[in-house]
Amino acid sequence: MTESKSRDAACPAAIDWPVVLAQHDRWLRTVAFARLGERQAIDDVMQEVSYAAVAQKAPLDDPSKVAPWLYQLVVRRSEERRVGKECRSRWSPDH
């Protein structure tokens, strides 16, 4: 085996995030909706998730870990949005 082939085997191919996000979009949106309960916030959460996936500082090496990682990211972003909305409504002048 040549050196370049062994180096290629040691370094997995980079994840094609636009393709992966498109493949997982439907069920990730379902998770976001279940957490948020409002459709208009889903696009914002998915945009944040997409940006986080592309801009991550420690890229995933194992493609089998992509779906669980995306799930955790959608849950975290959804919860941050829900809690932020509750805080804003609690401190609004209408209350």
Q: What is the pLDDT of residues 58-87, one digit of tens each?
A: 788 888 999 999 999 999 999 998 886 655
Instruction: Please report, for residues 10, 23, 29, 67, 79, the alpha-carbon distance to residue 62 in angstroms, rounded to integers and kept in the order given.
Output: 12, 17, 23, 11, 26
pTM of the shown model? 0.73
Closest CA to 70 of 52, 82, 95, 92: 52
Chain segment 30-66, per-residue pLDDT in tens = 999 999 988 889 999 999 999 999 898 778 888 899 9
In angstroms, the CA 78 to CA 35 distance is 6
pLDDT of residue 58: 79
